[in-house]
Amino acid sequence: MIAYYFSLAYRRLLATKGMSIALMLALGLGVGASMTMLTVVDAMTWDPLPGRSTHLFHPILDPLPASYPVRAGRDPRMAMAWPDAQALLKLGPASHQVALASGRLLVDSQMGVPRPFHARGQYATASVFEMFGIALVAGRPWTQGEQERRARVVVLSRSLAARVGLGERQVGNTVRLGGRSFTVIGIAEEWKPRPRFHTDLQQDVFKGSEEFFIPLGLTMDLDLEVTSSLFSWSDAGTGNRLEDPRSSWLQHWVELGDDTQKTAYMRFLEHYVQAQVNVGRFERYVTPRLPSLHEYLNEQQIVPDEVRLQLALCIAFLAVCLLNMSALILARFLGRSHEIAIRRALGARRIDIVGQLLSEAAIIGGCGGLIGLLVAQLGTALVRRQPEDYAALVHLHPGLMMATFVLALVSSLLAALPPALRTLSGRVAMQISVAE
């Protein structure tokens, strides 16, 4: 019976080619445009660490004076001061913890480097490799002991090691970065999480990669260049601002296995904040927060407002297409009232008539879905040519391609269902009489 419905629908669509093509194009354009923007949003909100993100949390403290003016996009509370990070690393009841900041160093002229160039990387604590799953293709990460005695060691990315003429087996060589010598103890696989959750999200979110990893303590000792935002609420102009308890610049992440560990860590944060209030370092008690990685990314609104607006406009365009499509289908079905009334008079059930009419809509939806796929492919190709940081991440993967086709099919059926029911709402005799 279903095959018979589709056979009738196919012949009917061929008999009205102009309207059928118009319906398919309208549906395909609406679905394709909407899926293009959904693909962009999907790329920007992709899980940066699949399998690990659910256990990562970002402690947030509020050491600011009550009078400090917090501006949108420039919130010091999204970073942490050096003394707070040290205390949390030492006392916090977490499986793993890491404090880190972004840096930029000049790779000096040396053997294998005829011309100097700049490299970007992270100043981090020893747990960064295990906690974030950064694989090493050679060598090892630095130890806690090396971190405490401020050993001048570095882990290079595979690409930077190649640029400075170091193969994967040449661990132990010396490389000059920022005018200082470091011993290469490891070569790391390329690590490019998107979005870059571990960095200052008030800066670059989708652009850049980590070319080196250096123990965090060396940042102050060697006065290395830090590119993370540095916020200060101190009037003092002397001393090292990176070590000032009234300056925040570090990102701090903790790994917690279950709700029990999260509760324990939250209790620890509350006690820590209260202790800082008691000694007068924090002006007031503000309950600390412990958002998960996904919650933190949502709070930071990494999807730009213009992308949200474009998505809303595309969805509105799809809604208008479906309304117009429903009106055209209603006119199409009403024009066949005489045929439908005679079939009902001969004994056809309502469900049979609806099945045949929806078969036409299903064919329109299927063809519209194919057009929508072409439009979405073209749209994503155009987006990838844009100069935006996130453009290179946009990709219409198989899951979204299937979603595009299903959306077109379901939208077509939903748009056709009310007209189909409306066509059958009248009495048979009246429909035959009116048609005559």
Q: Per residue in 192-219, pLDDT tens?
A: 888 888 988 766 777 778 999 999 999 8
| pLDDT at 66 (0 to 100) | 85
Which range (25-39, 153-167, 229-243, 246-260) has the least confidence?
Answer: 229-243
Contacts 24+ apart (CB under 8 A), 292-297: 292/53, 292/54, 292/56, 292/57, 292/58, 293/48, 293/49, 293/53, 293/54, 293/56, 293/57, 293/58, 293/197, 294/47, 294/53, 294/54, 296/58, 296/197, 297/45, 297/195, 297/197, 297/201
* Predicted TM-score (pTM) of this structure: 0.76
Confidence band, pLDDT 50/70/90 cuts, at residue 152: very high
Range name among 108-122, 129-143, 233-247, 414-428 with the lowest pLDDT average = 414-428
User: Tens digits of per-residue pLDDT, 220-252?
Assistant: 889 899 999 899 887 665 567 888 899 999 999
CB atoms within 10 A of CB 130: 13
pLDDT for position 107: 92
Q: What is the mean pLDDT of residues 301-310?
A: 75
228-237, 292-301, 354-363, 412-421: range with highest mean pLDDT: 292-301
Contact between 16 and 329 (Cβ < 8 Å): no
Sequence-ordered list of residues with C-beta below 8 angstroms from that of 247, at least 6 positions apart, any chain: 81, 82, 230, 231, 232, 233, 234, 241
Count of other CB atoms within 10 angstroms of residue 171: 19
DSSP H/E element including 307 = helix 305-334
Among 175-179, 216-220, 432-436, the least confident range? 432-436
209/121 Cα distance (integer angstroms): 7
CA distances from 16 to 12, 112, 401, 408 (A): 7, 71, 29, 21
Beta strands in 60-95 (DSSP E): 80-81
Q: What percent of the chain has pLDDT over 70?
A: 86
Could you count the other beta carbons within 10 Å of the beta carbon of residue 284? 11
